[in-house]
Amino acid sequence: MDPRAILDHEFMVAAYVATWVIQLSYLAWLGLKWRAQKRREARMSRNLR
Amino acid sequence: MKKLAIGLYGVLTVTLMIWAWYQAIYVAPNDAMQGEIFRIIYYHVPSAMVAFLFFAISLVGSIGYLASRRSHADRAQIFDAWALAGAEVGVVFCTVVLVTGPIWGRRAWGIWWTWDARLTTTLVLWLIYVSYLLLRRFAAGPQVQTLAAVLGIFGALDVPIVYMSNRWWRTQHPAPVFGGAPGSGMDKSMLPAFGWNVLAWLAWGIFILILRYHVERKSQKLAAQDAEAALYGVSSI
């Protein structure tokens, strides 16, 4: 296979992987924030009772 | 019912993402000049479009907050939550643009970065909205939301400059593919892959935007409960 085509393919894969890493990392951070809020809410309602 | 709707939308979004990826990798042909690296455009351009849209949502939220903060406090908080969600998810998409662009540039131009008008204005846009998020995260006091709203409005002013930059100035960045000079545009065989990816990234963006909005609204409600508990001397921690 043409070495230029191999390099093109590797750069394309790098761009696609980088996109998904950024998007899924943000989603994971959002999920953690959501879970922390749920716990805080439960703690607050327990203490207010 | 609400959970079912969210679940269905999530499944639809993931299906759309897989289909769009399949279109970009296996269906769209290689570009005659650039070969396979041209396929980066299917992630790069839709991400830029979604980022612009979300910065526009942040602009509307910021204006709404400033307009209603004295007369309708509850409505102002809703506007503020949309402004924050739009800015934050917009930054995520803008980061994708600023990462995938240089990866393409390294192969196409032989350099990772150049200070041309399109690249520089996009970096400035990203920096403005990162400042917005840092202000929201680290500043305290009653004026934070107002200051952030003003910054959000100024940040959005950069969006049309970014869009027009490669029309107003001769830049190293490729000329506009859509809405550019006569003869510009994309080959018909590439259009479906491009369209599916715009749709898929928009669906994904809306999904995380709504999620971020709900997290912020919950945060506002917890802060209000906290303040109320402190006022009446009840420990909420």
The model's pLDDT over A17-41, given as tens digits with 9 standing for 90+, comes to 999 999 999 999 999 999 999 998 8
Question: Does the predicted model carry a pTM greater than 0.90?
Answer: yes
At residue B29, the pLDDT reads 87
β-partners of residue B31 are B35
Burial annotation B75-84 (CB, 10 A radius, 16+ → b, else e): ebbbbbbbbb
Per-residue pLDDT of chain B (237 residues; tens, 9 = 90+): 888 988 899 999 999 999 999 999 999 988 878 888 999 999 999 999 999 999 999 999 999 999 999 898 889 999 999 999 999 999 999 999 999 999 999 999 999 999 999 999 999 999 999 999 999 999 887 789 999 999 999 999 999 999 999 889 888 888 777 777 777 778 888 899 999 999 999 999 999 999 999 999 999 998 888 888 777 775 555
Q: Cα distance from A40 to chain B (closest Cα, Å)? A: 8
Rounded to 5 degrees, φ, ψ at B35 are 70, -140
Place of tokens 């999920």: A31
Q: Which amino acid type is present at position A15? A: A
At residue B234, the pLDDT reads 59
Q: Kindly determine whether residue B218 and residue A41, on different chains, have CB atoms separated by under 8 Å.
A: yes
Q: Cα distance from A44 to chain B (closest Cα, Å)? A: 5
Task: Give the 3-state secondary structure of residue B31.
Answer: strand
d(Cα B116, Cα B105) in Å, to the nearest integer?
A: 12
At residue B61, the pLDDT reads 97
Nearest to B206, CA basis, from B196, B198, B216, B195: B198
Q: Kindly determine whether residue A11 and residue B96, on different chains, have CB atoms separated by under 8 Å.
A: no
Structure tokens at A30: 């959002």
Contacts of B89 in chain A (CB under 8 A): 26
At residue B62, the pLDDT reads 96
Q: Which amino acid type is present at position A34? A: W
Contacts of B208 in chain A (CB under 8 A): 23, 26-27, 30
- DSSP letters, B105-125, are HHHHTS-S----HHHHHHHHH
- Under 8 Å between Cβ of B132 and B155: yes
Q: What is the DSSP letter of B35?
A: B
Nearest CB among A12, A47, A48 relative to B40 is that of A12
Structure tokens at B5: 């709707």
Nearest to A15, CA basis, from B27, B120, B38, B196: B38
Q: Quick one: closest CA in A to B95, which residue?
A: A22
3-state secondary structure B6-23: HHHHHHHHHHHHHHHHHH
Task: Give the 3-state secondary structure of residue B232.
Answer: coil
At residue B205, the pLDDT reads 97
- DSSP letters, B55-120, are HHHHHHHHHHHHHHTTT-HHHHHHHHHHHHHHHHHHHHHHHHHHHHHHHHHHHHTS-S----HHHH
Quickly state the pLDDT bin for A48 (edges 50, 70, 90): low
Rounded to 5 degrees, φ, ψ at B77 are -65, -35
- Under 8 Å between Cβ of B183 and B175: no
Q: Using one digit for the tens of pLDDT, what is the confidence trace for B84-103?
A: 999 999 999 999 999 999 99
What are B's interface residues with A at a Cβ cutoff of 8 A?
A: 21, 34-37, 39-40, 43-44, 47, 89, 92, 95-96, 99-100, 103-104, 106-107, 204, 208, 211-212, 215, 218-219, 222, 225-226, 229, 234-237
Q: Kindly determine whether residue B40 and residue A15, on different chains, have CB atoms separated by under 8 Å.
A: yes
